[in-house]
Amino acid sequence: MSGSEERPEPTPPPPDAGAPHTEPTGGGRPTEPAGASRPSEPGSPIDRSDERSPVWILGWALIGVAGLVGGAWAVATGASTEVQAAALAVPFMATAIVFHHLVVTRDAGELSFERGERLADELAEDHVAATIGRRPLLVRSAVAAAALGAVGGLVGLRQLGPRRGRGSAWAPGVPLVTNDGDRLRPGDVPEGGVVTAWPQDAVDVEAAAVMVIRLRQDPLDPTDLGGVVDDRLVAYSRICTHAGCPVALYRDRDQALFCPCHQATFDARRAATPTFGPASGPLPQLPIGTDDDGFLVALDDFPVTPGPLGGEVER
Amino acid sequence: MTSPVASLAHAIDRRVGRSAPRPSLWAIDVWRLLGHLAVAMFVILAVTGLLLAIWYDPSTEPVTYQGSSELYDGHTLPANFASVVHISEDVPGGLLLRRVHVAASHLFVAATVLHLLRILFTGAYRRPRLANHLVGVGLLLLVLGMLYTGENLPFDLVSGASLRIGYAALMSIPLVGDTLAPLAFGGEFPGGDVVTRSWFLHVFVLPPLFVGGLALHLWLVHRRTPAEWPREDVDVHRCAVGRPLWPDASARFAMLGAGATALVLASAALIPWADLELEGPFRPAEAANTLHPPWSLFFLSGGLRIVPAIDLVIGPVRITNMLVAGVIIPGILIAALVVYPLIERAVLGDDIVHHELAGPLDLPLRAGVTAAITAVTLVLTGAAGVDVIAYWLRSPVEGVIWAFRIALVVVPVAATLLAVRAARRHAERAAGTAGSAGHDDAEATT
């Protein structure tokens, strides 16, 4: 394990290369088995002096410090992020190369020892399966307790927790307004166009958002025709019944509403019934009409609570 | 005479290094170093995360941003989004911090997942390392938790979608969903508290838990000694083999950490990770045209896209696509990681200690199950890109989704059958060579 004689490089290698290194020297073969064959040389391997190392390390240390200073300068002067990143990568690369040098030149090989008696107690600790095998009563009572706890927690949660609200901010006569709070007229929605609308007093309350769509053809069954303005102006909840994403895309070609999150597709002519994808419920239709001044108003709330269909059945 | 550094090195060496009575041995090869790569990435994430926390503001209250971002100067934005814009545009080196944090998170998850696959394929979860495998699965859950909560922090349109889907996933749970979702979010979506809670979890809860779990994980690796591939020169069942922690293994870990950091920084110079110039802030009921989570959550997003619509009402319980693809399928995948080792042990009646790593094809049961888990995860991961694939192919997205639906059934079945068949052949070949070797011996002796 005497290091320096084995090293073949006669001169200090230049600090620019990853450098040709020899195979790990020293105890490349693991010593087998324990105890006696452990290197008995005094002092840890890190102490073994290697006169050539400082030149290497100095070279890379200089490059690393240069990179660090350059990176700090780049950050301080507001140079572009790319320059900052490239400069700061240098010291880490230099550190890696120095360590690579140390690893390759000072490696003392693998060690091995017999697990045998020395580790018998440590290695016998894997109780998981053993316990399950040997203590059926304990396991059964644990399962029973967990089940009881789960039922209790479930009942407690249902009784004590907050509940998701039903219905929405829409009610008969509530005006439809735009993102900016301006009231909407039927004429504001061009043919084949979609406008996002809110209840007048609940702009940006996500669950109440609707899309007002002017269809190119007459709506069909099962659309609530009593809640349609000008025969073709319909309003649907904007919140997908699948995952609650905004159904933000409208495909004029087949008058389909399309959710960018998971590709749920709804037929805008047929009460926004799902036609493809993961959604199982239609987007609730908001029945709309016009008031005396010709502005759009809701005729009623949604027929069902808008938003994703949850695991609980609405009563 | 001896410097303090040298005496410290001596002390470490006597405790865990080459001169210790029981040296701490660490296996060093590409596959084993994946775990250490993940640790190195966690260090980068912790350092950059601490720095980012100086400027990050979790509040969603609207504020007027003023700064050097031309796009957002003078606009009213949620405070958290504005603080992220501020970090990117006004803090010196801030954008670099964000890019490095995100780049390191990608490598962190990749290294973690590959490390897990290595454990599964080589049977490294067998006795006496099962407990450590379970700790590892717990760490994986923490990693996914940190990823999800971290994704929510910028509060851009992508965060908005991920929060909505999280809310819907909680809501899809039968019997308690309507209570659980508002409870977790602090009210109806978007809930006043959810980003603050994400931030709290991302910074104060999950990383300390991860550090604790990681310490246990590494301590168990040390205690159990590394498992080793079968080799000629050492009876690995009887003897522990590896590089002593001090100095050889430590030098390698340091080299790996420094090299990986340099790589992450170089990638941050080349790739604009995490630049959110064009991702607008969260707005109620608004979405971008395509929305994708980080790739490591694709398996969730993909399932939600390709599992067909389900609406099964049984009494007070409604089963939806969200429940199946967002809760049950991922739950089964994670549970399989925990349960499969126990099943394997029971089926084989294998209760003995294994210090030898197996080959991926050594056992037909293991080959089949690992192939099935991997194939399902890969198909679901690919399925998250149906919209992008449809765009590349210039074909309707419906067709692409149908292709993935078929693939979700066919590919795992085919992969499982192929893996089992390959494993059987492998066993036959092994038996064949052993048999012929025995035959030769017999001939030689006669």
Tell me how far apart the alpha carbons of residues B242 and B103 are, in angstroms, rounded to a whole number.
Answer: 31
Q: Which of B131, B252, B285 sits opposite A103 (nearest CB)?
A: B252
Q: What is the pLDDT of residue A315?
A: 61
Query: B331 vs A10, which has greater pLDDT?
Result: B331
Amino acid at site B310 = I
pLDDT class of A28 with cuts at 50, 70, 90: very low
Taking the C-alpha atoms of residue B147 and residue B298, their distance in angstroms, rounded to an integer, is 12
Higher pLDDT, A259 or A163: A259
- Within 10 angstroms of residue A43's Cβ, the number of other Cβ atoms is 13
Query: In sequence order, what E strands does A200-279 have?
Result: 210-214, 233-237, 249-251, 256-258, 265-267, 273-276
Residue A260 domain flag = yes
Cα angle B256-B258-B259, degrees, rounded to a multiple of 5 = 65
Partner-chain contact A96 B188, CB within 8 Å: no
Candidate from B178-192, B208-222, B292-306 with smallest mean pLDDT: B178-192
The beta-carbon neighbor of B165 closest among A96, A261, A310 is: A261
Cβ of A123 within 8 Å of Cβ of B353? The answer is yes
> Who's near A30: CB < 8 A, 6+ residues apart?
A109, A110, A111, A112, B233, B234, B239, B241
- Taking each helix axis from N to C end, the angle separating A136-160 and B177-185, rounded to the nearest 10 degrees, works out to 70
The residues with which A2 forms a beta bridge, in sequence order, are none
Mean of the pLDDT values across residues A288-297?
A: 94
Structure-block tokens of residue B55: 């400027």
For chain A, give the percent of residues with pLDDT over 70: 77
Cβ of A112 within 8 Å of Cβ of B234? The answer is: yes
Query: What does the domain layout of chain B look like in residue ranges?
Result: 10-273+313-340, 360-436
| Residue B435 confidence (pLDDT) above 70 | no
Q: How far apart are CA B120 and CA A287, in angstroms?
A: 56
Nearest to A311 among B100, B175, B259 (CB): B175
Q: Are residues A140 and A189 in the same domain?
A: no
Give the model's pLDDT for residue B215.
Answer: 95
Once rounded to an integer, what is the mean pLDDT over residues A101-106?
A: 81
| pLDDT tens profile B61-78 | 899 999 888 889 999 999
Residue A139 resides in a domain: yes
Tokens of A191: 């043919």
pLDDT for the residue numbered A137: 84
Q: How far apart are CA A45 and CA A26, in angstroms?
A: 10
* pLDDT at position A34 over 70: no
Q: Does residue A44 register a pLDDT over 60?
A: no
More confident residue, A235 or A136: A235
First to last CA, chain A: 80
Other CB atoms within a 10 A radius of the CB of residue B308 amount to 14
Given a contact cutoff of 8 angstroms between Cβ atoms, the answer to whether A251 and A235 are in contact is: no
Instruction: Quote the CA–CA distance of B247 and B311 in Å, as a whole number.
Output: 60
- Could you tell me where the DSSP H helices lie in B349-396? 364-383, 386-393
Check whether residue A155 and residue A222 sit in a common domain.
no
Separation in Å, CA of B341 to nearest CA in chain A: 10
Is the model's pLDDT at A125 over the cut of 90? no
Confidence (pLDDT) at A122? 53
CB atoms within 10 A of CB A6: 11
Joined together, the tokens standing for residue A190 give 């061009």
Predicted pLDDT of residue A40: 38
CB nearest to B182's CB, from A116, A128, A164: A164
Which chain A residues are closer than 8 Å to B345 by Cβ? 129
CB contact under 8 A, A154 and B317: no
Could you give the residue ranges of the DSSP H alpha helices within B56-127? 79-89, 94-121
Cα angle A85, A87, A93 (rounded to 5 degrees) comes to: 95
Assign A33 a pLDDT band (cuts: 50, 70, 90): very low
pLDDT tens digits, B253-290: 999 999 999 999 999 999 988 776 567 888 888 888 77
What's residue B96's pLDDT? Answer: 94
Residue type, B369: V
Contact B99 A157 (CB under 8 A): no
Please indicate, yes or no, whether residues A284 and A181 belong to a single structural domain of this protein: yes
**A83 shares its domain with A143:** no
* Category of B285 on φ-ψ map: left (φ > 0), alpha (ψ -120 to 50) or beta: left
- The answer to whether position A138 is within a domain reads yes
Q: At what angle do helices B206-224 and A116-123 cross, to 10 degrees?
A: 150
* Residue carrying structure tokens 């809930």: B191
Q: Are residues A143 and A94 in the same domain?
A: no
- Calculate what percentage of chain B has a pLDDT beyond 70: 96
Q: For residue B306, which amino acid is it? A: I
3-state helix vs strand vs coil in chain B, percent to 5 = 65, 5, 25
* Residue A53 DSSP label: H
- Omega within 30 of 0 (cis) for the link into A33: yes
What would be the CATH architecture of the domain defined by B10-273+313-340?
Up-down Bundle (1.20)
B179 to A78: CB separation less than 8 angstroms, yes or no? no
- The pLDDT value recorded for residue B224 is 85
Query: Is A311–B320 a contact, with Cβ atoms under 8 angstroms apart?
Result: yes
Name the β-bridge partners of A247.
none
Contact A86, B269 (CB under 8 A): yes
Angle in degrees, CA B224, B226, B232, rounded to 5: 130
Across the interface, of A126, A246, A263, the residue whose CB is closest to B386 is: A263
Contacts of A223 (CB under 8 A, 6+ apart): A234, A269, A270, A271, A285
**Dist. CA B93–CA A77, nearest whole Å:** 10
Which amino acid would we find at residue B308? P
Question: Phi, psi at residue B63, to the nearest 5°?
Answer: -135, 165
Question: What residue type is assigned to position B305 of the chain?
Answer: R
Collect all residues of chain B within an 8 Å Cβ-Cβ radius of residue A244: 164-165, 167-168, 171, 189
| Residue B20 DSSP class | S
Burial A214-237 (b: 16+ CB within 10 A, else e): bbeeebeeebbeebbbeebbbbbb
Integer-rounded Cα radius of gyration of chain A: 37
Looking at chain B, the number of H-run helices and the number of E-run strands are 16, 6
User: What is d(CA B411, CA B423) in angstroms, rounded to the nearest whole number?
Assistant: 18
The tens digit of pLDDT for each residue in B148-169 reads 999 999 998 888 889 999 999 9
In the DSSP assignment, the letter for residue B363 is -
Domain match, A197 and A289 both: yes
- Residue A130 confidence class, pLDDT cut points 50, 70, 90: low
Which of A100-114, A179-193, A233-247, B396-410 has the least mean pLDDT? A100-114
Count of beta carbons in the 10 Å neighbourhood of residue B173: 20
| Residues of chain B found within 8 Å of residue A262, distances taken between Cβ atoms | 301, 304-305
A38 plus A64 within the same structural domain: yes
Residues 99..138 of A with a Cβ closer than 8 Å to B: which?
99-100, 102-103, 106-108, 110-116, 118-119, 122-130, 132
Give domain status of residue A150, yes or no.
Answer: yes
| Beta-carbon count within 10 A of B237 CB | 14
Residue B247: what pLDDT?
Answer: 83
| Number of domains forming the structure of chain A | 3
Tokens of B186: 């602090």
> Among A106, A66, A108, which residue's Cα sits nearest to residue A89?
A66
Pair B380, B302: CB distance under 8 Å: yes
- Reported as a single tens digit per residue, the pLDDT across B170-203 is 999 988 888 888 888 888 887 778 899 999 999 9
Q: Which domain holds residue A266?
A: 176-298
Q: What is the DSSP letter of B327?
A: I
**pLDDT tens figures, A172-204:** 999 999 999 999 999 999 999 999 999 999 898
CA B214 distance to own-chain centroid: 14
Return the higher-pLDDT residue of A90 and A137. Answer: A90
Highest mean pLDDT among A150-164, A279-293, B16-30: A279-293
pLDDT score at A37: 38
> Given an 8 Å threshold on Cβ–Cβ distance, is B238 in contact with A33?
yes
Same domain, A185 and A294: yes
Contact call for A162 and B187, based on CB within 8 A: yes
Alpha-carbon span A174 to B391, nearest angstrom: 41
Share of chain B above pLDDT 90, in %: 61
Q: Name every chain B residue with its beta carbon within 8 A of the beta carbon of A242.
A: 168, 304, 309, 320-322
Closest CA to A142 of A154, A126, A131: A131
Q: What is the pLDDT of chain A when averaged over all its residues? A: 80
Same domain, A61 and A99: yes
Higher pLDDT, A32 or B137: B137
Cβ neighbours of A294 (radius 10 Å): 10
- Interchain CB contact of A171 with B (< 8 Å): no
Residue whose token pair is 């969603």: B60
Residue A23: its pLDDT value, please?
34
Average per-residue pLDDT for chain B: 90
Shared-domain flag, residues A95 and A194: no
Q: Has residue A49 got a pLDDT over 70?
A: no
Instruction: Enumerate the residues of chain A whose CB falls inside 8 A of the CB of residue B401.
Output: 263, 276-277
In a domain? residue A309: no
**Closest residue to B239, CB basis, from A115, A129, A244:** A115
Task: Round to whole Å and give the CA distance between B237 and B354.
Answer: 7
Which pLDDT band holds residue A52 (cuts at 50, 70, 90)?
low
pLDDT on residue B176: 85
B401-417, pLDDT tens digit by residue?
Answer: 999 999 999 999 999 99
Above 70 in pLDDT, residue A206? yes
Q: What is the mean pLDDT of residues A10-17?
A: 38
Residue that has been written with the tokens 């803090």 in this structure = B91
Residues A284, A285, A289: CA angle, nearest 5 degrees: 155
Which residues in chain B are contacts of A273 at CB distance < 8 A?
none
